[in-house]
Structure 1
């Protein structure tokens, strides 16, 4: 399915069902899911990027396993709200989902969620709240950033 805006996504979604968020980076993809009532966002995993077909296959397997109804993909806007080169890369990744992903993923509506400062906020929280080492932060920051993106998307859907 194509990229939709939040009012359109809200109209497409049935009452219950999980959403999945992606924090797409050049080397990894952080993944988070919501609960079925769309109240909580939980970091799920981080996958290492490889070939597009393999990445989309992994995401499709996760979408099917967790019965995902829609995707929220983080859009890294500049601080002034404009789009830079990374935004174009994310838009292309979203288009690739619609065009090349297995049906379990390609059929899902996709919404782009502003992710400004998501990784910085999550990293700061990991340091301040949990006194987490750099190595442990590196393992968890992408999935946690995806949860932050998903929390923002869930708030907009309410």
Structure 2
């Protein structure tokens, strides 16, 4: 059984926002207006590292085509897309943008008969943390824009890995293609008291 299909079945069996750790590479995605930062972890899920920065293509969506190819090449078993909520847990235009991006990615992967699970998880302060880390590392302004998105993706992925390995629930939800049997579960749950399915 392909890793993505196996992982999809296990994720579904545990509920909308609780995942058991199985060996395999995971990917973190930080979606911005101009760029998309990507991060990848080792098969044992120990460390997230920067992978690549894609330039957004709002007309032809070539960035998502490249992303889908990278998911295939690296045999990614799960993808975690950052959901930039406000500090009070509300939504902003960036929240809508990230959600639309993740939903379209799920649709496109399903059209290719790939069941790689896509998750939207709370990414409050990850970009702020990425900026701080790069400033402290003395990164030049020339390299800053390219690296900050990758570092934000690293923070998203590492947070997800640490949460999963600790046996805790993700602050987020699984994204299913619209029209699928599970699409009605695409609701944000921040903790188990809010989640009627847990």
1:7-156 to structure 2, matched below 5 A, reads: 7=18, 10-11=19-20, 15-50=22-57, 51-101=59-109, 103=112, 107-128=115-136, 130-156=137-163
1:100 is displaced (CA, Å) by 2.7
Q: How high is the TM-score relative to the length of structure 2?
A: 0.70
Structure 1 residues 53 and 127: alpha-carbon distance in aligned structure 2, compared to 1, 3 A threshold: closer
Structure 2 portions without partners, runs of 5+ = 1-7, 166-198
Structure of greater relative contact order (alpha carbons < 8 Å, 6+ residues apart): 1
Higher helix residue share: 1
* RMSD between aligned residues: 2.0
4+ residue stretches of structure 1 with deviation over 4 A? none
Q: What CA deviation, in whole Å up to 9, does each residue of 1:121-154 have, x standing for no partner?
A: 11111111x2122222112110111001001111
Aligned length: 151
Structure 1 portions without partners, runs of 5+ = none
Q: How high is the TM-score relative to the length of structure 1?
A: 0.86
What is the alpha-carbon distance in structure 2 between the residues aligned to residue 45 and residue 97 of structure 1? 17
User: For the Cα contact (< 8 Å) 2:48–2:158, is it kept in 1?
Assistant: yes
1:103 is displaced (CA, Å) by 2.5
Work out which of the two has the higher radius of gyration on C-alpha atoms and give 1 or 2. Answer: 2
1:52 is displaced (CA, Å) by 4.9
Q: What CA deviation, in whole Å up to 9, does each residue of 1:11-40 have, x standing for no partner?
A: 5x6x21010010011111000011100111
User: For the Cα contact (< 8 Å) 1:34–1:41, is it kept in 2?
Assistant: yes
1:84 is displaced (CA, Å) by 2.1
